[in-house]
Amino acid sequence: MPQKIKKTAHSVVMRQMFKRTAAGLAGMLVMATMTGCGSFDSDEVVATVGNDEITAGMANFYARMQQAQYESYYASMMGTSGEAMWTQQVDEEGTTYEESVKESLLTSLENLYLMKQHASEYEVVLTEEELKDIQEAAVKFDEDNALEDKEAVSGYQKYVEEYLRLTTIAYKMDAPMKEGVDEEVSDEEAAQKSMKYVYFAYSTKDEEGNSKDMTDEEKKDLKKTAQEFAKNLKDSDAKDIDAAAQAAGYEVQSTTFDSDSVSPDAKLVEAVDALETEGGVTDVIESDYGLYVGKLTSLLDRGATDQEKKNIVEERKKEQYDGLIEKWRKNSQINEDEKIWDKIDFAKQGVTIKESNDQYDEIPDAE
């Protein structure tokens, strides 16, 4: 049975995007205690990235910090235990959740070393203050946790310091690696329309309030209702879908979209997108679970379009960032020892977080 991680004032909480300062990252550290210990030598080499060797101890510490987040947050959200979560199959080939996650974790750790190796190209260095913060955080980590706990996660000072050096460099690399992308986006490229729609679901409620599927006959009657609703709305001068829905006892929903959108329904989006004038109304659109009638409310939703421009710029930055990582990986000699990596087992050695009274902003980890 897994023990719990002590989350002290010096805790690092992993996330995919960096949001805080490098100094803040060094000031927060997570500690884990777990039952059992992996049967590996900490000095064994799990992978090499160029001239850098990633030891089993370093890989174990990195993996356990990530595992802590999965078990503390995702397992509880999924309503399952950590052990059950890790053994779930995620594809038809029988790949387990643990195998899927561990594959990406080792790649992420290798990428941290690649960023360290290329840091000088972006004039990224660790300051004396940052190095001091890192050392103090590692010492605090060492003092706050029992030897058995540290052995379980390879939480020795040298690995803690290495982890914090790597993630701090990666944090500082994030912005410069994304610099220089074209941030000009036209309205045409980002254009978002908006619609309102009414959904006629193929389900009803019984006396106890439970949902049940309609019969084929009930579905036919519902379609006639939807068709009448659409016809009356089209024939009206105001084409006020809100008033029409209220009178008929239905709810109006709204959304923004473009031609590539598939929500709330791809056929509905296609039909509304084909309308040429604002205020246009679709015919009844059939789906597997119900019927839709949509109204085009704007050919260019300003707020949604401006937000889409930001999304496009961020996607360009991400593509540039990912492209650099991909190029570095291609140009670097990377070797992995799967037999050693397989010794780090999540399902048989759980890890969770214990909360303390000390609260700090959360700091994300490198991608």
Write out pLDDT tens, residues 151-163. Answer: 878 888 999 999 9
Q: Angle at CA 126, nearest 5°, toward 123 and 132?
A: 165
Mean pLDDT check: name the lowest of 66-80, 110-124, 279-293.
66-80
Residue 208: pLDDT above 90?
A: no
What local confidence, expressed as pLDDT, does residue 90 receive? 86
Q: State residue 193 phi and psi, 5-degree precision.
A: -95, 175
- Among 37, 54, 36, smallest CA distance to 45 is for 54
Is residue 362 scored above 70 in pLDDT?
no
C-alpha distance from residue 244 to each of 225, 240, 247, 250, 297 (Å): 12, 6, 5, 8, 15
Separation between Cα atoms, residue 106 and residue 60, nearest integer Å: 10
Over residues 318-334, the pLDDT tens digits come to 999 999 999 999 999 99
Q: Is the pLDDT of residue 359 over 70?
A: no
Say what the pLDDT of residue 353 is: 54
Is pLDDT of 52 > 60? yes
Over 70: is that where the pLDDT of 35 sits?
Answer: no
- Coil, strand or helix: which one is 346? coil
pTM listed for this prediction: 0.80
- Tell me, what's the pLDDT at 277? 97
Q: CB pairs under 8 A, 24+ apart, for 305-309?
A: 305/187, 305/190, 305/191, 305/192, 306/190, 307/192, 308/185, 308/190, 308/191, 308/192, 308/258, 309/185, 309/190
- Helix-, strand-, coil-residue percentages of the chain, each rounded to 5: 50, 15, 35
State the Cα–Cα distance between residues 96 and 188, nearest whole angstrom. Answer: 43
Number of Cβ within a 10 Å radius of residue 200 = 19
More confident residue, 275 or 64: 275
Cβ–Cβ under 8 Å, residues 11 and 31: yes
- Is residue 10 predicted with pLDDT exceeding 50? no
Q: What is the mean pLDDT of residues 182-194?
A: 98
Average pLDDT over residues 84-99: 88
Q: Are strands 285-286 and 290-298 parallel, antiparallel or unpaired?
A: antiparallel
Scanning the structure block, which residue is given the tokens 């509880």?
Answer: 76
User: 353 - beta bridge partners?
Assistant: 5
Identity of residue 249: G
For residue 214, the surrounding DSSP H or E stretch is: none
Q: Is the predicted pLDDT of residue 33 greater than 50, yes or no?
A: no
Q: CA 25, CA 19: separation in Å to the nearest integer?
A: 10
Question: Per-residue confidence at 352, pLDDT binned at 50, 70, 90?
Answer: low
Residue-level pLDDT at 86: 87
Percent of the chain at pLDDT exceeding 70? 84
Judged on CB neighbours under 10 Å (0-12, 13-18, 19+), 185 is middle
Average pLDDT, rounded, for the chain: 85
Region 234-246: mean pLDDT is 97
Cα–Cα distance for residue pair 113/127, rounded to 1 Å? 18
Strands of the sheet containing 334-336, edge to edge, are 52-55, 45-49, 334-336
